[in-house]
């Protein structure tokens, strides 16, 4: 029997919008909002690249959909995150735009990284941009970043490379508003700034080991004794402030190669590089691994819901020696990828700056850590710095990657003439979820089915209309927790847990969502959007699935696969129960069922055109298709026709 879910008669009503309405879209598939208009002022500025207009005589590929068999949609999202562009797979390309700031416009550059101010004669090192092979990496948008980070606090915790990175970060933001320094210690190693108009604070914390360390060095790095490193005690310099930060970037690594004595529980455990002493040489990797593990344990056990970014270690480019033995770095152009491919470090998620930094031997201060080092003697012997980075320089693009990590979680727009605000909140499970990814982006999700996500619950009472949607992420492998105890799992082969199936977790979450709404004092209008279909054919996302159709399918041609059926078997009954309760409590609860009209639109996905002109160079190029999200403009726009009808009826 054919289902006519979407065929219902509507009455025509008028709607008067009140000033001061706030609408929220929460969940996974939230790209349904609005087409752009000059009257819309985004709180987060747009940074899109104009796309050339296609030739008008291009015709759609003819497809005889009438003869196509029924297709069951059973594909799930990949576990390995392969839907995301690998921004680290790319190359440095010439760029004539130069740096976004100079040593004259930014007053926060330390003298040792002020290559221009110290007389470096070439400026070619600032005329390159990192270009991923399969997508675009937008430049750091300081205005957008500041708007996104209103009333937030950032901290950079680590060594002198961290401080180097922080200075680039501050310089980029200062192009919009000059930072005001609120604090510094006597050595200027711990500092704090504020961007007053945005109430954003940024701190840098000197903690080269991230753990307690007694260091016996002078200002030039000359040691009088071995470092005493307590690998089981994290550094109080940052742990005592951790609860005050919303975003924390940690990085370390370089200092671990120094000679050190390792302590655990205040007892000597061993050492690294301690020849002549009667201690076991454990190697610096032993200490580094222990401390990184302790760092993650601290974060996981903290009550503070901060966003944590771990920046990988970075390369130096000393040639003909080391820092202390006359090593130099006189290159003036990026290296070719092939020249150093074998030395590439592991590609981690988070902020992995190693690959793009490895091929930039031209970006270090070298002798220009000193003020005009060859002014008096062109053959003078000076110490080179091939470890830190010039400002401005390649290090600025670490912040392009950084912005890529953080700028999409929450966005907010304002329509000033109507005083209407619209927010979007990233919460794919709607509940507390912790994702742990390894270097291959394989992940294990720890899902707390009884703890709704604070990122939206803490703001719920500020919104008048809220649209919730979820579902797709529940098909991923996950461990389920209830009352902080393991309840079971989904897809967790090899583990000694009961596989409950994702439908159990989804049902519990949806029920908890509706319970929260029913018990809230806020009289918002709640709209629950159903899950949506994908249209992969010939395989799933991660193994060559495609969606090349150019016209809508005929009714009945596509059937819901098992995963989408299970999602609907949870959504519709749970909504019906909640709707009955809502009537008793005077709550306004609406269902936005977009599955039926979306199911017959296999032609509406980006497909291969998630990339910029994917077949321009090779008409037979193999590219990854996106048959899950929707083109804009496209069929998804009619979801808003239904949404408007729901609001009009309200």
3-class secondary structure per residue, 217-247: ECCCCCECCCEEEEEEEECHHHHCCHHHCCE
For residue 542, give both structure tokens. 């991660």
pLDDT of the residue at 21: 38
Q: Phi/psi of residue 61, each to 5°?
A: -70, 125
Both tokens assigned to 280: 């076991």
| Amino acid 70: pLDDT | 39
Distances (CA, A) of 82 to 77, 482, 563, 626: 9, 29, 20, 11
Residue 65: how many CB atoms within 10 A of its CB? 16
- Strand 22-27 versus strand 420-426 pairing type: parallel
State the CB neighbour count (10 A cutoff) for residue 388: 23
The catalytic residue among 22, 112, 159, 160 is: 160
> What's the alpha-carbon Rg for the chain, to the nearest Å?
28
Asked whether the bond before 486 is cis by omega within 30 degrees of 0, the reply is: no
Residue 74 Cα distances to 19, 478, 493, 542, 638, angstroms: 44, 19, 20, 14, 24
Of residues 165, 388, 535, 605, which has the active-site annotation? 388
Active site residue 414: no
CA distance 249 to 159: 12
> Hunting for tokens 């690959």 — which residue is that?
355
Q: Residue 153 has what pLDDT?
A: 95
Q: Which of 508, 510, 447 lies closest to 477 in space, CA to CA?
A: 447
Contacts of 84 (CB under 8 A, 6+ apart): none
Q: What are 135-169's pLDDT values in tens digits?
A: 778 888 898 889 888 889 999 999 999 999 999 99
Q: What is the pLDDT of residue 65?
A: 31
Q: If DSSP codes are grouped into helix, strand and coil, which group holds residue 397?
A: helix
248: its two tokens: 């924390």
Low-confidence ranges of the chain (pLDDT < 50): 1-22, 28-83, 337-349, 438-441
Residues 6+ apart with CB under 8 A from 33: 25, 413, 422, 424, 640
Distance CA(433)–CA(490), nearest Å, equals: 14
What is the per-residue pLDDT for 66?
A: 32
Close Cβ partners of 236 (under 8 Å, ≥ 6 residues apart) = 212
At residue 1, the 3 state secondary structure works out as coil
Residue-wise pLDDT for 212-263, tens only, equals 999 887 665 666 788 999 999 999 999 999 999 999 999 998 899 899 999 9
Query: Can you read off the two tokens belonging to residue 513?
Result: 């969502």
Name the strands in the sheet holding 410-415, side by side, starting at the edge strand that comes first in the sequence: 41-42, 410-415, 420-426, 22-27, 465-469, 525-529, 588-592
Helix residue spans in 586-626 (DSSP H): 595-599
Phi, psi of 582 (to 5 degrees): -60, -40
CATH code at 75-83+409-649: 3.40.50
Residues of the chain with CATH 3.40.50: 75-83+409-649
Catalytic residue among 141, 352, 362, 385: 385
**Cα→Cα distances 271→211, 216, 227, 279, 285, Å:** 15, 16, 10, 6, 11
Residue 470 has a pLDDT of 95
Burial per residue of 617-638, b for 16 or more beta-carbon CB atoms within 10 angstroms, e otherwise: eeeeeeebbbbbbbbeeebbbe
370 is catalytic: no
Nearest to 201, CA basis, from 179, 186, 171 = 179
**Is-catalytic flag, 427?**
no
């Amino acid at each position: 029997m054919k289902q006519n879910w979407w065929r219902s008669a509507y009455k025509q009503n008028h709607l008067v919008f009140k000033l001061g309405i706030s609408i929220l879209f929460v969940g996974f598939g939230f790209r349904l909002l609005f087409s752009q208009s000059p009257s819309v002022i985004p709180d987060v500025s747009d940074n899109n690249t104009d796309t050339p207009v296609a030739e008008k005589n291009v015709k759609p590929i003819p497809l005889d959909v009438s003869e196509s068999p029924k297709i069951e949609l059973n594909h799930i999202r990949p576990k390995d995150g392969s839907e995301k562009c690998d921004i680290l797979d790319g190359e440095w390309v010439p760029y004539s735009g130069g740096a976004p700031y100079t040593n004259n416009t930014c007053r926060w550059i330390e003298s040792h990284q002020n290559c221009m101010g110290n007389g470096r004669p070439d400026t070619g090192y600032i005329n390159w941009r990192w270009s991923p092979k399969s997508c675009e990496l937008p430049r750091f948008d300081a205005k957008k970043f500041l708007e996104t980070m209103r009333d937030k606090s950032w901290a950079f915790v680590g060594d002198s490379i961290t401080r180097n990175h922080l200075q680039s970060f501050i310089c980029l933001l200062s192009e919009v508003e000059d930072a005001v320094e609120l604090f510094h210690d006597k050595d200027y190693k711990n500092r704090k700034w504020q961007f007053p108009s945005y109430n954003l604070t940024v701190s840098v914390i000197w903690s080269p080991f991230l753990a307690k360390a007694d260091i016996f060095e002078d200002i030039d790095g000359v040691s009088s004794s071995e470092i005493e490193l307590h690998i089981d005690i994290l550094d109080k310099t940052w742990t005592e402030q951790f609860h005050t930060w919303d975003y924390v970037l940690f990085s370390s690594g370089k200092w671990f190669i120094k000679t050190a004595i390792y302590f655990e529980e205040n007892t000597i455990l061993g050492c690294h590089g301690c020849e002549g002493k009667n201690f076991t040489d454990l190697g610096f990797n032993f200490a580094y691994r222990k401390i990184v593990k302790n760092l993650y344990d601290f974060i996981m056990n903290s009550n503070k819901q901060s966003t944590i970014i771990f920046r990988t270690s970075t390369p130096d480019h000393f040639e003909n020696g080391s820092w202390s033995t006359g090593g130099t770095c006189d290159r003036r152009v990026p290296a070719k990828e092939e020249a150093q491919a074998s030395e590439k470090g592991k590609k981690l998620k988070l902020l992995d700056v190693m690959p793009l930094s490895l091929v930039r031997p031209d970006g270090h201060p070298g002798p220009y850590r000193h003020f005009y080092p060859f002014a008096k003697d062109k053959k003078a012997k000076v110490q080179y710095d091939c470890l830190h980075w010039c400002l401005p320089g390649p290090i600025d693009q670490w912040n392009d990657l950084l912005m890529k990590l953080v700028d999409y979680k929450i966005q907010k727009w304002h329509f000033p003439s109507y005083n209407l605000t619209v927010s979007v909140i990233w919460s794919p499970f709607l509940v507390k979820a912790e994702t742990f990814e390894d270097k291959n982006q394989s992940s294990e999700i720890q899902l707390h089915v009884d703890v709704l996500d604070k990122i939206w619950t803490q703001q719920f009472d500020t919104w008048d209309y809220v649209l919730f949607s979820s579902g797709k992420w529940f098909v991923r492998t996950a461990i389920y927790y209830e009352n902080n105890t393991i309840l079971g799992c989904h897809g967790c082969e090899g583990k000694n847990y009961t596989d409950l199936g994702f439908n159990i977790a989804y049902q519990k979450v949806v029920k908890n969502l509706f319970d929260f709404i029913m018990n809230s004092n806020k009289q918002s209008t709640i709209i629950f959007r159903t899950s949506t279909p994908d249209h992969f054919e010939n395989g799933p996302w991660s193994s060559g699935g495609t969606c090349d159709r150019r016209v809508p399918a005929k009714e009945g041609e596509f059937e819901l696969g098992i995963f989408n059926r299970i999602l609907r078997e949870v959504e519709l009954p749970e909504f019906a129960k909640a709707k009955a309760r809502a009537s008793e409590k005077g709550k306004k609860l609406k269902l936005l069922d977009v599955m039926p009209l979306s199911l017959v639109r296999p032609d509406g996905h980006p497909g291969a055109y998630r990339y910029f002109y994917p077949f321009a160079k090779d008409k037979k190029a193999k590219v990854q298709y996106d048959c899950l999200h929707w083109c804009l403009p496209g069929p998804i726009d009619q979801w808003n026709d239904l949404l408007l009808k729901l609001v009009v009826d309200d």
